[in-house]
């Protein structure tokens, strides 16, 4: 994986390259970025650049022995750790190494659900177990085979839990020329004792333009469809890839119908929606629908503020935004966005979707139909 193979993040790539040139490579770094932001790909490209035998000005050469092995993820001094769905207590990450290589090489921007699908793990709980922690200690105790640095890339260390305590001393005082590159999506779920021992590298989500360009150039998607998908994906390449096979926007018609029932206070239809339509989506699509709705409402706020040049929507979606902006106030939209964000947070934590969406719908009825903003004990 070379830096040039990763879309966007030009400033961050230049910073990472400069740390190598200045000999300021920290032995433990935390690459923190949301799902689909390319944080895992960046960490691997960084490791490849560090161990490249013929570095160019801004990237690894891609041709030396080290680079060729890195590009296939088979370098003997490159180690991986990641959440898996253990079938036995002795399972470690290397048990699933071939599947891991295939998954990453097919989709460098993958998320946990994509990885789960590759292993056909169903609803099993992902984690990094104590056997894996001990295996990491064992692997890194050996001398490097051929590279200057041994590198461990740990994807999603938030799934390490208390087993991470076994690695604290190793992370704080690793063997010479050993690098820990931790790649996380949620800093709050990582052990504080691990965070305090790492240097933070913040990775932002991709811009709308980055995603759109990626879809047009790499996936041969027509511009208008790429624009739609990029808007829904909201900086997440994994979501964009998931949406490619959809012939039309899967959320726009659902949103229109739902809002029509809300603004007319059609109680029976709202209940049916929450009992049938929303649960049928599944957790990931529920999250994507909520994010899509949040982004649409934000586009409406931009329209109301006279910033139409920043509106990214086209066609039917743009017509909807313009009509909606004429009929509802910015205060209503801001409160609705706050409710949608809270619901998204709860969906991520596996709350009951029927209860969540019914509660959300009823509160939106109060906001858009009756211009009443829930407060105090009724704001549940």
- In angstroms, rounded to a whole number, what is the distance separating the alpha carbons of residues 248 and 245? 9
Q: So what's the pLDDT on residue 123?
A: 67
Q: So what's the pLDDT on residue 378?
A: 46
Closest CA to 361 of 258, 219, 214: 258
Q: Where in the chain is the domain with CATH 3.40.50.300?
A: 3-204
What's the pTM? 0.82
Strand, helix or coil for residue 203: coil
Q: Where in the chain is the domain with CATH 1.20.272.10?
A: 246-370
- In angstroms, rounded to a whole number, what is the distance separating the alpha carbons of residues 340 and 202? 26
Q: So what's the pLDDT on residue 282?
A: 85
- In angstroms, rounded to a whole number, what is the distance separating the alpha carbons of residues 42 and 366? 45
- In angstroms, rounded to a whole number, what is the distance separating the alpha carbons of residues 131 and 100? 18
Q: So what's the pLDDT on residue 278?
A: 93
Q: So what's the pLDDT on residue 247?
A: 55
Q: So what's the pLDDT on residue 377?
A: 45
- In angstroms, rounded to a whole number, what is the distance separating the alpha carbons of residues 154 and 174? 15
Look up the CATH number of domain 246-370. Answer: 1.20.272.10
- 3.40.50.300, 3.60.150.10, 3.40.190.10, 3.40.50.1100: CATH of 3-204: 3.40.50.300
- In angstroms, rounded to a whole number, what is the distance separating the alpha carbons of residues 12 and 37? 12
Closest CA to 286 of 345, 349, 347, 352: 347
- In angstroms, rounded to a whole number, what is the distance separating the alpha carbons of residues 37 and 60? 21
Note down pLDDT in tens along the chain; length 380 residues. 999 999 999 999 999 999 999 999 999 999 999 999 999 999 999 999 999 999 999 999 999 999 999 999 999 999 999 999 877 778 899 999 999 999 999 999 999 989 988 988 766 788 899 999 999 999 999 889 999 999 999 999 999 877 788 999 999 989 999 999 999 999 988 988 899 999 999 999 999 999 999 999 999 999 988 998 899 899 999 999 888 866 556 789 999 999 999 999 999 999 999 999 999 988 888 988 999 999 999 999 999 999 888 888 878 888 999 999 999 999 999 999 999 999 999 998 889 999 999 999 999 999 999 988 866 544 44
Closest CA to 250 of 343, 317, 323: 317
Q: So what's the pLDDT on residue 203?
A: 97
Closest CA to 93 of 135, 30, 64: 135
């Amino acid at each position: 994986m070379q830096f040039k193979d990763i879309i966007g993040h030009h400033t961050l790539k230049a910073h990472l390259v400069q740390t190598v040139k200045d000999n300021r490579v920290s032995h433990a770094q935390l690459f923190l970025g949301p799902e689909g932001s390319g944080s895992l790909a960046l960490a691997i490209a960084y490791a490849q650049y560090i161990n490249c035998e013929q570095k160019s000005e801004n990237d690894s050469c891609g041709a030396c022995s080290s680079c060729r092995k890195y590009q296939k993820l088979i370098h003997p001094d490159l180690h991986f750790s990641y959440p898996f769905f253990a079938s036995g207590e002795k399972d470690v990450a290397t048990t699933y190494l071939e599947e891991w290589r295939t998954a990453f090489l097919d989709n460098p921007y993958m998320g946990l659900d994509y990885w789960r699908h590759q292993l056909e793990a169903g609803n099993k709980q992902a984690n990094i177990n104590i056997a894996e922690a001990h295996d990491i200690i064992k692997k890194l105790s050996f001398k490097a085979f051929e590279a200057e640095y041994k590198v461990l890339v740990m994807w999603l260390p938030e799934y390490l839990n208390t087993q991470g305590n076994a690695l604290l001393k190793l992370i704080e005082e690793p063997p010479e020329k050993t690098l820990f590159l931790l790649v996380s999506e949620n800093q709050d779920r990582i052990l504080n004792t691990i965070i305090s021992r790492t240097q933070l590298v913040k990775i932002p989500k991709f811009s709308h333009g980055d995603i759109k360009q990626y879809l047009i150039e790499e996936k041969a998607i027509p511009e208008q469809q790429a624009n739609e998908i990029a808007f829904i994906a909201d900086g997440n390449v994994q979501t964009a890839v998931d949406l490619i096979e959809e012939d039309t926007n899967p959320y726009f018609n659902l949103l229109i119908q739902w809002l029509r029932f809300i603004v007319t206070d059609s109680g029976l239809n709202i209940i049916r929606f929450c009992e049938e339509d929303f649960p049928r989506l599944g957790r990931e699509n529920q999250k994507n629908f909520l994010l899509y709705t949040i982004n649409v409402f934000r586009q409406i706020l931009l329209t109301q503020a006279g910033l139409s040049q920043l509106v990214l929507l086209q066609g039917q979606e743009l017509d909807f935004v313009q009509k909606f902006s004429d009929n509802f106030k910015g205060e209503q939209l801001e409160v609705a966005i706050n409710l949608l964000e809270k619901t998204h947070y709860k969906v991520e934590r596996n709350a009951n979707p029927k209860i969540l969406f019914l509660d959300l719908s009823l509160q939106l009825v109060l906001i858009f139909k009756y211009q009443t903003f829930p407060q105090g004990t009724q704001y549940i």
